[in-house]
Amino acid sequence: MANTPELPSRRGVLRTAAAAGAFGLTAHTAIGRAVAATPAPDLPGGLIPYRLPYLNWAGEIAHPGLWTCAPRDGQQVADLANWARAAGWRLRARGKAHTWSPLTITPGTAADAPVLLLDTTKHLTAMALVPPPAGAPGAVRAQTGVTLEELLGYLAGHGLGVTNTPAPGELTLGGTLAIDAHGTSVPAAGEAARPGHTYGSLSNLVLELTAVVWDEANGRYALRTFTRGTDPECDALATHLGRAFVVEAVLQAGEETPLRCVSRVDVPADELFAAPGSPEAAGGRTFADYLDAAGRVETIWFAFTDKPWLKVWSLSPERPATSRPVLGPYNYPFSDLVPTPVSRLVGRLTAEAAWYLAPQLGALQYTVAATGLTTSLATDLWGASHHLTFYLRPTTLRETANGYAILTRRADVQRVISEFAGFYRERLEAWADAGRYPVNGQVEIRVGGLDQPAEVAVPGARPPLLSVVRPHPDHPEFDCAVWVDVLTLPGTPGAAEFYRELERFCLDTYDGGHALVRVEWSKGWGYTDAEAWADQEVIGEVVPASYGAGEWAEGTGLLRGLDPHGVFGNAFLDELLAP
């Protein structure tokens, strides 16, 4: 990597920007003058660089202005890669910045860092149907700057859809493939497999990828297309963590089937998260009970409350008589726009450091959800699948989050959820008894399938090598994943320490016996008592071991081989994916 600039120390790069506040204002002030003085790079192909601030979802990774450009096509990305190699710069794809982790830029990125952001959302947004392979009803070729809302709307217009999708529709396709974004779904009891669909991540839909990679024969970066089931590089690029630049993807799709979504706020956590075989589990209202009935379940459990917001989606070709039809996504306005009472209370927590108000905030958020579901007639909805699975707008409350996928057997899902929920509640209460309130948001729990090759309509397909829900070679009995996230306001005192307790519990409890934990790439993980992505054992040992030595080595080795000069990367990825 002789032409890559010398990088700052890992500790300096990964130090959190909590002192900068939710929007990084202190950091902006501190380096604003240096930013203004940094000369614009001379880019190839007539591309004009411009300054653009970077702010991730929770505002904890912020920069007041990195040089940015908007390539018009894949060839311009290749030209930029050759320029960057010669000039000593690094290139980072910029989509919607809806991430928590330092996969795009790292906290503390210097004002004059030789980092160029490539905005994919301006021009790399084309879509077109293509002939599907045998076994899939449809396929689409899409450039990676298109948003999921645009992509799934396009597919729905042709009678096609997908099973799993994240809640925010504003995510770019490139970003979702980079981190194997997921939804929440497993087969309901008696549900037959549907051709073209997967219960795994969106990365498992990949049929073909076009990326900018190093061409050794010609000594240049160039565009190259890789095919699933034929080219092993495709298995690495399908979840590349930002260590590559994919410009176009071909994805399979299945037939669109409308969904029904029923929300409830009356099931106590003691029942929903009950231990299997306990008296609380006997009433038929556990998470696993709803999972068997519908296959698509999510709970949002506000801090210090006892009744989560439970969402249950089910396949529903015909509208049930009690369901309200919807014509678009984002059907929970009380969640999309922060109500005034909530914003005022959040203001007190943050401005006055009144963190002891966390129980009141949790209770208020529950009340807002329970009341809002009724007043907006949103307890029972029916419509196009993407209209019901997209429910989170950028205008919602911005919180920081940790994230893990716990691989297990379907039969052990309730056990895993009960164990996690029990430990979380015990520790939260213990901290509160000590006068400390590290969590003021909510716990989100979902269950999804793994990236099974049998769900891919091409022969010889393998799971994406670095997908969080890649089946583990030593545990073929694990057939699904419990996704858990704990959210809190940025800057909450003690949050990293509390997250570390949760992470250590998961690592000790889900160690490959009845379950195995993996980190969720886009969220917080690798905690010390002070910050995320800093625990050397988790980064260097735990994460690789959770995939299996051969799979991790193959995936990271392929990515390094496709970009041996490190043009597409940053200091964090250099360490995480090091040989």
Bridge partners (DSSP) of residue 62 are 55
When divided into structural domains, the chain yields a total of 1
pLDDT in the model for residue 72? 98
Confidence bin at 228 (pLDDT 50/70/90): very high
Position 221 in a domain: yes
CATH number at residue 153: 3.30.465.10
For 19, counting Cβ atoms within 10 Å of its Cβ (0-12 exposed, 13-18 middle, 19+ buried), the class is exposed
Confidence bin at 35 (pLDDT 50/70/90): low
Confidence bin at 34 (pLDDT 50/70/90): low
Question: Tens of pLDDT along 196-221?
Answer: 999 999 999 999 999 999 999 999 99
Other beta carbons less than 10 A from residue 434's beta carbon: 9
Alpha-carbon distances, residue 203 vs 252, 471, 558 (angstroms): 10, 14, 17
Note the pTM of the prediction, 2 decimals.
Answer: 0.94
Alpha-carbon distances, residue 568 vs 55, 104, 158 (angstroms): 19, 10, 35
pLDDT in the model for residue 38? 78
Token couple for 13: 């790069």
Size of the chain, expressed as the number of residues it contains = 579
Position 188 in a domain: yes
CB within 8 Å of 507: residues ≥ 6 apart: 517, 538, 542
Position 191 in a domain: yes
Confidence bin at 32 (pLDDT 50/70/90): low
Confidence bin at 16 (pLDDT 50/70/90): very low
Position 302 in a domain: no
Which residue is listed with tokens 């989050």? 401
Show which residues are catalytic: 98, 298, 444, 446
Q: How far apart are CA 488 and CA 376, in angstroms?
A: 26
Instruction: Report helix, strand or coil for 18.
Output: helix
Instruction: Report helix, strand or coil for 250.
Output: strand
Backbone φ and ψ of 202, nearest 5°: -60, -25
**Rounded mean pLDDT, 348-353:** 96
Question: Tens of pLDDT along 442-467?
Answer: 999 999 999 999 999 999 999 999 99
Is the distance from CB of 291 to CB of 311 less than 8 angstroms? no
Phi-psi region of 235 (alpha: psi -120 to 50; beta: other; left: phi over 0): alpha
What rounded mean pLDDT belongs to the chain? 93
Q: Helix H segments across 189-241? A: 232-237
Position 517 in a domain: no
**Rounded mean pLDDT, 359-375:** 97
pLDDT at 430 over 60: yes
Is the distance from CB of 202 to CB of 165 less than 8 angstroms? yes
**Rounded mean pLDDT, 180-204:** 97
**Rounded mean pLDDT, 344-355:** 96
pLDDT in the model for residue 9? 31
Position 137 in a domain: yes
Give the CA angle between residues 4, 23, 179 to the nearest 5°. 50
pLDDT in the model for residue 111? 87
Instruction: Report helix, strand or coil for 447.
Output: strand
Position 562 in a domain: no
pLDDT at 503 over 60: yes
pLDDT at 479 over 90: yes
Domain span at 221: 127-256
pLDDT at 21 over 70: no
pLDDT at 28 over 50: no
Q: How far apart are CA 317 and CA 337, in angstroms?
A: 31
Confidence bin at 11 (pLDDT 50/70/90): very low
Question: Tens of pLDDT along 290-344?
Answer: 999 999 999 999 999 999 999 999 999 999 999 999 999 999 999 988 999 999 9
Pick the closest to residue 404 from 288, 503, 531 (CA basis).
503
Question: Tens of pLDDT along 535-551?
Answer: 999 999 999 999 998 99
Position 117 in a domain: no
% of the chain surpassing 90 pLDDT? 92
Token couple for 203: 């990365």
pLDDT at 238 over 90: yes
**Rounded mean pLDDT, 559-579:** 97
pLDDT in the model for residue 549? 85
Question: Tens of pLDDT along 137-169?
Answer: 999 999 999 999 999 999 999 999 999 999 999
